Amino acid sequence: MVLTPKQTTIAYRCPHCGAGIMSAVGFFSLSGDMLKLKCDCGESELIIQRSRDGKIRLTVPCILCSKPHQYTISSSLFFGRELFTLSCPYSDLNACFIGETNHVKAALAQNELELLELLEEAGVESFEALHRDRTLTDPQIFDIVLFVVRELEAEGQIKCRCPEGGEYEVEVLDDCIRVYCTVCGAESRLPTDSVLSANAFLGADSLTLE
């Protein structure tokens, strides 16, 4: 009897150069401490770790945000889907693609079209320009993000751990806006360190604090 080891394909898009990075990942390749998927430009890497309880922990670079996002999913989900995506928590743009190779390739191609459209709307002419413009000095960006947060609060679209809704406050930090509940302590940090990330948040219809 020949056993076929579990295998899946995982991909992400490099925030520095915009390249789609894809690789096959086998079950036994995760037996070590961690597995890194690096972009050829040397500026980003996706980290995969399998915890003692069998779950898969991912550290995924994000094209919109200055810092990578952390995700934890089950091993069955990681190896068992034709396509599973993980999105940036501040936009609808997918950051990571997992599944059968052809499905991942198709999703990565669709992601490129969506990203190019978003770049055009934000007035950013290239991935290199996006990388250079990581720090914002325009206070209007903070004003716009604050406006969206207040609109979501008025519409009851901010969710936290409180069963019937909490009390929300906003704190402006150097590179983000922190929205937090004064009752349960749940929070979310909205990045304001790139034009693209701020622009993406303008289309948000809800905000979940964790």
The CA dihedral of 143, 148, 152, 158, to the nearest 10 degrees, is -80
Question: pTM of this prediction?
Answer: 0.62
Q: Give every CB contact of residue 82 below 8 A, 6+ residues apart in sequence.
A: 99, 100, 103
Structure tokens at 111: 């992601």
Question: What is the model's pLDDT at position 3?
Answer: 41
Q: What is the pLDDT of residues 164-189, one digit of tens each?
A: 888 888 877 766 778 889 889 999 88
Same domain, 171 and 195: yes
Residues 11 and 95 grouped into a single domain: yes
Domain count, the chain: 2
pLDDT for residue 41: 85
What local confidence, expressed as pLDDT, does residue 197 receive? Answer: 67
For residue 69, give its domain range: 7-131
pLDDT in the model for residue 137: 40
Residues 115-148: tens digit of each pLDDT: 888 777 766 665 655 544 344 445 566 667 777 8
Asked if residue 68 and residue 26 are part of one domain, the reply reads: yes
Per-residue buried b or exposed e for 43-52, using 16+ beta carbons within 10 Å of the residue's own CB? ebbbbbbbee
On whether both 142 and 109 belong to a single domain, the answer is no
- Residues 146, 120, single domain; the answer is no
- The domain boundary, picked from 115, 131, 147, lies at 131
Long-range contacts of 19-26 (CB under 8 A, 24+ apart): 20/108, 20/111, 20/112, 21/46, 22/97, 22/101, 22/104, 22/105, 22/108, 24/101
- Domain boundary, last residue among 79, 109, 131: 131
Using DSSP's 3-state secondary structure scheme, residue 126 falls into coil
Residues 64 and 92 in one domain: yes
- 112 and 17 fall within a common domain: yes
Q: Which residues of 89-124 are buried (b: 16+ CB within 10 A; e: fewer)?
A: bbbebbbbbbbeeebbeebbeebeeebeebbeebeb
Model pLDDT, residue 31 = 59
Contact 55, 73 (CB under 8 A): yes
Distance CA 82, CA 106 (A): 12
Distance, CA of 7 to chain centre: 23
| Same-domain check for residues 115 and 51 | yes
Do 116 and 139 belong together in one domain?
A: no
Give the end of a domain, one of 131, 157, 178.
131
Q: What is the pLDDT of residue 102?
A: 92
Q: Name residues of the chain where pLDDT drops below 50.
A: 1-4, 131-137
Domain assignment present for residue 140? The answer is: yes
